């Protein structure tokens, strides 16, 4: 899978590139800011066009949300390219801004997650393949948010684990692998969760992530 990485911190960017190339990714470009990244995406020959871009949210010149804006620009210009935004801080606001468009191919992770090498590579692969990757901390914050009437309190611990992984963008098989459950059992949990939360079970995984995120945010 072809990847472009963008971060103004050279050491980290190099590390990132190594983690990915060690994991079998093809690094087609490295950028130090949003402009360079957009140039790579726009000007590369189609055989060298990245399938996914991993982007630091804070880059020059203003060090605020250049990466996020670049990610959205890429999504708007070339919807087939996945974008995975990394940040030192987790903000639900940014997560929803990016993942909330519903089309998949987006991800938002805490920068520290990169050091979970396999998990990170998996997330990049998911995003590159049109799926989603939402940082567990975003989900934890949403799940952990206390509500006045809380349907999440009705979930069993196991169901809550499944819900969190589901919201991160993981497939039933991945959830099963993480929790050492059979895919069938995961499916049963998912149905139970959707019923308890009053949501309709969705076969499309992107829609499923979105429905769960929307529920978590609104309730």
Partner 1 sequence: MTGGLEGVSMSGRRGGFAAREGENVRHRAGATAFAGTLLILLLAGATAALFTIDGAIGADPISNILALVAVSCYAVVGGLIAARLPGNACGWLLLLVGLGLVVTIGADAGSTAALRDGRLALAQWALWVNSWLLVATVWPGIVLYLLVFPTGDLPSRRWRPVGFAVLALAVVGSGARMVQTFDGEPFTNPLAVPDAAPVVETIFAVVSMAFAAALVLAVVSVVLRFRRASRDERQPLRWLLVVAILSASLLVVAIGAGALGLNRIGDPFGVAFLLSLVLGLPVSAAIALLGHHVRGIEFLASRSIVYSVLAAFVTVIYAVVVGVAGVVLAGGESVFPAVAATAIAAIVFQPTRRRAHQLADRVVYGDRTSPYELVATFTERLDEASLPEILPRMANLVAEGTGAQRVGIWLRSGGELHAVAGWPPEAALPPPAQLVGGDLPDLGAGQAFPVRDREALLGAISVDMPPQEPMTSATERLLADLCGQAALVLRNIALVEEVQRSRQRLVASQDEERRRLERDLHDGAQQRLVTLSLDLRMAREQADARGDVELTARLDAAHQELARSLAELRELARGIHPAILTQTGLGGALRSLAERSAVPAQVRSVPERRFPPEVEATAYFFVSEALANVAKHARASSVWLTAQDEGELLTIEVSDDGIGGAELNGGSGLRGLADRVEAVGGRLDVSSDPGAGTLLRAEIPCV
Q: Which residues here bind partner 1, judged by CB under 8 A?
A: 9, 11-12, 15-16, 18-19, 22, 58, 63-65, 88-89, 91-94, 111-112, 114-117, 141-142, 145-148
Q: How far is the CB of 130 from partner 1 (least distance, A)?
A: 26
Nearest to partner 1 of 114, 174 (CB atom):
114
Residue 28 exposure: Cα atoms within 13 Å on the Cβ side = 22
* Rounded Cα distance, 86 and 58, in Å: 9
What the block records as the tokens of 180 is 């050492």
**Cβ distance to partner 1 smaller for residue 94 or 125:** 94
Nearer to partner 1, 46 or 149 (CB): 149
108 vs 194 by CB, closer to partner 1: 108
Q: Which residue's CB is nearer to partner 1, number 88 or number 156?
A: 88
SS3 217: helix
Closer to partner 1 at the Cβ: 47 or 62?
62
Cα–Cα distances in Å, from 175 out to 60, 62, 161, 172? 37, 39, 9, 5
Cβ at position 189, least distance to partner 1 in Å: 26
CA proximity to 110, closest of 88, 127, 131: 88
CB of 115 to partner 1, least distance (A): 4
* Rounded least distance, CB 9 to partner 1, Å: 5
Q: Smallest gap, in angstroms, from Cβ of residue 146 to partner 1? A: 4
- Cβ distance 132 to 104 under 8 Å? yes
DSSP letter assigned to residue 78:
-
- SS3 at position 144: helix
How far apart are alpha carbons 145 and 46 in whole angstroms? 44
- Taking the complex as a whole, the smallest distance from the CB of residue 147 to partner 1 amounts, in Å, to 6
How far is residue 215 CA from its own chain's centroid?
Answer: 18
Distance, CA of 77 to CA of 191 (rounded, Å): 36
């Amino acid at each position: 899978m072809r990847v472009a990485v963008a971060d103004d911190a050279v050491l980290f960017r190099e590390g990132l590139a190594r983690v990915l190339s060690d994991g079998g990714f093809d690094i087609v470009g490295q950028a130090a800011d949003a402009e360079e990244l957009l140039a790579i995406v726009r000007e590369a020959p189609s055989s060298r066009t990245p399938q996914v871009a991993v982007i630091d949210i804070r880059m020059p010149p203003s060090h605020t949300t250049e990466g996020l804006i670049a990610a959205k620009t890429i999504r708007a210009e070339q919807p087939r390219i996945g974008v995975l935004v990394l940040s030192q801080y987790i903000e639900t606001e940014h997560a929803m801004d990016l993942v909330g468009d519903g089309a998949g191919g987006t991800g938002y992770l805490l920068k520290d997650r990169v050091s979970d090498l396999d998990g990170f590579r998996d997330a990049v692969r998911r995003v590159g393949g049109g799926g989603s990757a939402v940082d567990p901390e975003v989900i934890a914050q949403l799940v952990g948010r206390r509500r006045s009437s809380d349907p999440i309190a009705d979930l069993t611990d196991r169901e809550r684990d499944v819900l969190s992984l589901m919201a991160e963008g993981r497939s039933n098989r991945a959830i099963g692998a993480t929790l050492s459950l059979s895919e069938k059992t995961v499916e049963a949990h998912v149905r139970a969760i959707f019923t308890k939360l009053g949501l309709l079970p969705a076969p499309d995984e992107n829609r499923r992530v979105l429905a769960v995120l929307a529920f978590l945010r609104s309730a």
